[in-house]
Structure 1
Amino acid sequence: MNIACLTSTQTAATAIGAHLALAGMDVRHCDDLNALLHAVRQGFLHAVVVEPAEEQIDDWLAILCERLPREVPVVVVSMQMDARTAARAFAGGACDYLPLAQVADLPLRLTAHCAARRLRQSNVLELGGFVLRRDTMSVRRDGVDVLLTPREFALAWALFSSAGNVVSLSRIAAQVWGRDIDISKRTIEQHMYKLRTKLGIGNRPGSRIQAVYGVGYRLEIDEHCGVAAPAGLTARRRADASAYSRPA
């Protein structure tokens, strides 16, 4: 994997470079943001890791999210764990955030994020008994159709394609309603409630949509979890189920 790295401290550069190299990843250390953007223009990058100073985080992420291809994830590393900085990182478009003390986890996280980004480029997602088809905007659970509106499907796709990761409120608004539309948290909450109900997520252990306060939402789903029957079954499927339940 080819990783571009931009840090504000030599300590972070050394630690990040050592752990990524140990995992067999090729690391390109960039002296400044212009050098990083040059690496982006050259292509062949799988991911970007940045360790900005507090006053740099918003500007760095705004520029990277505008210039980077969508399939290239950005991970923010910080000298210390800070909930406020983490919230800013996710709101700015970063897919992950971790303190420098946990940088040993970085190679595994980068591998997972790159795999998830590749998955999002496909038209079909299969996870935990669900099958989502982007070309037909359809969802099936254990072979049963689940009726979703176009916005509900867009919301489901955003969550399932990033399962296990936090999907920021700004990204949800951009993917579901359009980048230039300001959507209230209450509106997103209402759509999230409807989606939970229709998919039956959260009715049994192993699946839930978790709200990360002030940041976004995360889908947690076990590949083998049992999910209660969703509310969005097609009328034909409901009739079939009723027929099979009638006494002989």
Structure 2
Amino acid sequence: MKLAIFTNDSALFHLIQSCLAAEGAVCTRYGEDVELARALHREEFSAIVFDAASGMDASHPVLARRACYGDRRAPLIAVGDFCAREHVQAALNAGADDIVLMPVDPRELRLRFQLAVRRFACDSGSCGTAQTTGDELEMGSYRMSRRDGSVEIDGKPVRLTAREFAIAWVLFSQQGNYVTRRAIAATVWGSSEDIVGRTLEQHIYKLRKKLQLDGACGIVLRTMYAHGYRIEQIVERAVEPALARAAERVPETTLARATERALERTAEVAAPRPPLRPASGAANGACTTGGTIKLHTSGSEAARHAQPWSPESSDSWAFVANRAGVRRLA
């Protein structure tokens, strides 16, 4: 039997290898998540031993791939220092089938390995039963079944390819969390983001259209640079009852009076103003004679050489008058 061991700790790998050699297990070590995800795509393993120090998270490419392709899963045994009950529960929720506490006891490891392999074989059909736990997802009007790769929206089936379904399952199972392009590439293709590249974008584009992930059915697919993709459920916001009641209490007469006053102010500003006439007295040395303005005293040198001008025939005086009228109204 073939056994995949995911760890960066060489000492732990040799310990597990020596413990399971008597069981006839051929152990292969994987240090990169993409490398193991690619191996899971190509090969069948009797079991996977997962070093929890690498991070037991449901978005991990290895764990996410096992969640997508439940019919191809091998039992996963998590090895780690689970010092609290909630840590054990978190590991099981992330996809572990069994756990082994650190420091590793060789007898416990062999027993856990035998039980996990036997239980998986029984669940896969040797005992005449099918594994159904965690094979369905429901969110709003969406229903997904991993057993047959089917998707329904409001009870209507939507046809997806195997990879489109795998991407949808990864995104919907991680509702509210961003799933990186690297994780999707490793989970679905068993490859790196650089190799998948444009192909992933095309699948996301088709998935948006087929599943109407624009909010039309209550679900939207968000994209954020350097973070990845996230499924969100749209919550419709109702109008605040207090604001609605306040709007209903505003009398129509009040609105009418406000509109009337606004129109009156507009008419005041737009009404034509009478022409501005200069004062009868002299100001700043200016005086008027027969409608002609003299800006200098009659005895000055400037007055003897200045040309007289009339305010009625001068555009400059109209400009000054209009500006003065605007300042007076303001």
Normalising to structure 1: TM-score of the pair?
Answer: 0.47
Structure with higher RCO (Cα < 8 A, 6+ apart) = 1
Larger Cα Rg: Structure 1 or Structure 2? 2
